[in-house]
A and B are shown apart, each in its own frame.
Chain A
Amino acid sequence: MSDLKITNLHKHYGAFHAVKGIDLDVPSGEFTVLVGPSGCGKSTLLRTIAGLEEASSGKVEIGGRDVTWARPRDRDIAMVFQNYALYPYLNVKENIAFGLRARKFASAEVEKRVARAAEMLGIGHLLQRFPRELSGGQRQRVAIGRAIVRDAILYLFDEPLSNLDAQLRDDMRVEIKRLHQELGRTMIYVTHDQIEAMTLADRIVLLRDGVIEQLGAPLDLFERPSTRFVAGFLGSPKMNFLNATLSPDGVTLADGTKLSLPGRKTSKAGQAVILGLRPQHIAMAGKTVAPGHERVPVTIELVQPTGSRVQVTMPLGGTSIVAELAAHDVSRPGEKTHIDIDMTRAVIIDPTTEKVI
């Protein structure tokens, strides 16, 4: 059964067309992440699901019920906001209990549920405090507690971690993932951060300019992007894009470097294409060239160590590419060396349609 079904949803703000005909089906218990650059319509889509924005046309069904025109309170949803949305005049306990009290739950039931939610989130000792006395991470826990204390069909998260610092963000990401596994509820999560999307999602919905660019499991999108945009959006550092021309058994780069494409034959030799190479699929030259790999001489331009890995910039095919190498592979700029490129993972993109061939 699907908990959320969106059919041909449109949203206009005056002349601006924010959501352009989205169809989406979210099965029960799935963690779906809506991701995309700012202005792609992901927040608008989420807010339309919540009923905070009115759909211009189309249909939203939650739990099999048409709620397109229902008020937010009648949709059986819970939502976590980016700025926590905690009531400063209520203590933590009353903040968590707010939704239950609004729905006239019996006092004993409220106590029980608040205690359980607080325990799950490890904030039991904070119940008597006020929001201003909490750290950012604690506030976000309370905000999440306020959502999970309710038995909603759908749990919505609107960029809940973007106000936290990097360390806390990592911790809370783990927490949210764990919560989803424990509760097994259907969750829709909006973020602009591709790492959050990759790590949390059962399924990623990648949006661009109000339409779904691609949708699928995180690794599907990472390994088999359907467009240049998807290929470039997911992954850090970003995928390298090089101008190239198809040849019968591979591609030729702008500077004449020939790279073979194993297992791929083309009849369109001479066609201009874009070659996409992930920094992770480039390695220091080993003793032998592995099958499907291409060995290329390069000169190191820039070295950025990240601790466990090192990001190395080097010229190739008339542009600069980035490779993610093992920490001690290169030491300084100017070094001449060889790299092995895994051509089996390379992506070929049609420059006019921007679609992956």
Chain B
Amino acid sequence: MSALPFHRRKDVRLAWRYLIAVLLVIVFVFPVYWLFIISFKTPDEIFAFPPVWYPASIQFNNYAVLFKDGDAWSVWNSLVLASVSTFFAMIFGTIAAYSLVRFKTGGENLAVWIISQRMMPPVAIVFPLFLLYVYFGWVDTYHGLIILYTAFSLPYVIWMMRGYIEDIPLELEESALVDGCTRWEVLWKVVLPMARSGLFATAVFTFIFAWNDFLFALVLTRTEVTTYTVQVTHYFGGQSNFWAKIAAMSVLGTIPVFFTVAVMQRYLVRGISMGAVKG
């Protein structure tokens, strides 16, 4: 090694770091870029070799087809199912978590029992559920999937919120009780504001779970409430795959989550670092 002066050696080290960082970014971002760019290409460009790194003209034909055929509705379905089930899961989960923490409901072990539901592979119950849903007439309905997603998110919400609520100093709640609040008011005026970051972080992840669900949606929907994950699979054919539609639909499915995370980023980072590691 040539003996470079100290400040030069620092520069070299910095350059290496940047190089590695840029390479990593390319590795992670390229697939996303490729997905986006395919959705704006013509069929010829998609199959061209050597690959077309960027299309000659951005054209929205692939999207127009999705909207014209009504396929884009599946994104709306996903949005409704994920949002509504997240909403209910957050309400019931937070109340349950508060009860577990403050009143030791169910003793020390109930929380562990609840989280153990997450260890069960969903595929193990999807067919019994299907039969049940057929019996109730809930197949291919909004409420059917909303109930299912809510039930499946609850353990996660309870488990996470339990950690965040445990971190709230008891004196804050006691002070509010003495000052004239009921338990429900304490929950609303003290616990929720104190756990706000955790609340948002948990909600985002709950939303993403429901958003990304494929299995339940595949088995329990037909045509009315098809989610975008199921819709994408319709474009994989026996003879050929409709890459343009797949890409366009995937982009549509990515955008809501992308914006949710972007908007909530501040809370996500704080929420994850706040109490998530506590069990």
Contacts and interface: CB of A to CB of B under 8 A. Distances in A.
B126 interface: no
A85 B193 contact: no
Interface stretch (A96-104, A339-347, A348-356): A96-104
A137 B191 CA distance: 25
A89 interface: yes
Contacts of B181: 73, 102
A98 B176 CA distance: 8
Interface residues of B, number: 18
B196 to A, nearest CB: 8
Given A87-B190, A89-B194, A102-B185, A71 B169 contact: no
Given A72-B178, A102-B185, A85 B171 contact: yes
Nearest to A78: B178
B179 A87 contact: no
Contacts of B179: 73, 78, 98-99, 102-103, 146, 150
B175 interface: yes
A72 B182 CA distance: 9
A79 B190 contact: no
A50 to B, nearest CB: 6
Given A83-B169, A85-B169, A87-B193, A50 B180 contact: no
27 contacts: A50-B174, A50-B178, A52-B174, A71-B182, A72-B174, A73-B178, A73-B179, A78-B178, A81-B171, A81-B174, A82-B171, A83-B169, A85-B169, A87-B172, A87-B190, A87-B193, A88-B194, A89-B193, A89-B196, A99-B178, A102-B181, A102-B185, A102-B189, A103-B179, A146-B175, A150-B179, A156-B178
* Interface of B (DSSP majority class): helix
Nearest to A95: B175
Interface of B: 169, 171-172, 174-182, 185, 189-190, 193-194, 196
Interface of A: 50-52, 71-73, 75, 77-79, 81-83, 85, 87-89, 98-99, 102-103, 146, 150, 156
Nearest to B174: A52
Contacts of B176: 98, 102
* Interface of A (DSSP majority class): loop
Nearest to B181: A102
A146 to B, nearest CB: 7
Contacts of B175: 79, 81, 85, 146
A297 B193 CA distance: 68
A85 to B, nearest CB: 4
A52 B178 contact: yes
Given A73-B177, A81-B171, A102-B189, 15 more contacts: A50-B178, A52-B174, A71-B177, A71-B182, A73-B180, A77-B178, A79-B174, A79-B178, A83-B169, A87-B193, A87-B194, A89-B194, A89-B196, A146-B175, A156-B178
A44 to B, nearest CB: 13
Pick from A52, A75, A85, A88 the residue with the most CB of B within 10 Å: A85
Nearest to A149: B179
Contacts of B172: 85, 87
A78 B196 CA distance: 27
**Among all A-B residue pairs, the 4 with the closest Cβ atoms:** A99-B179, A102-B180, A85-B175, A85-B171
A73 B171 contact: no
Nearest to A103: B180
Contact of B171 (A83, A89, A156): A83
Contacts of A78: 178-179
A109 to B, nearest CB: 14
Contacts of A103: 179-180
Contacts of B174: 50, 52, 72, 79, 81, 85
A103 B194 CA distance: 21
A264 to B, nearest CB: 50
Contacts of B171: 81-83, 85
Pick from B178, B180, B181, B189 the residue with the most CB of A within 10 Å: B178
Nearest to B177: A72
Contacts of A150: 179
A291 to B, nearest CB: 55
Pick from B172, B175, B181, B193 the residue with the most CB of A within 10 Å: B175
A98 B188 CA distance: 13
Contacts of A99: 178-180
A83 B175 CA distance: 11
A183 to B, nearest CB: 18
B211 to A, nearest CB: 29
A72 B174 CA distance: 9
A102 B176 CA distance: 8
A9 to B, nearest CB: 19
A101 B180 CA distance: 9
A85 B168 CA distance: 11
Contacts of A88: 194
Nearest to A88: B194
Contacts of A79: 174-175, 178
Contacts of B180: 73, 99, 102-103
Given A83-B171, A87-B172, A52 B177 contact: yes
Contacts of B194: 87-89
Contacts of B193: 87, 89
Contacts of B185: 102
Contacts of B177: 51-52, 71-73
A136 B112 CA distance: 39
B271 to A, nearest CB: 15
B266 to A, nearest CB: 15
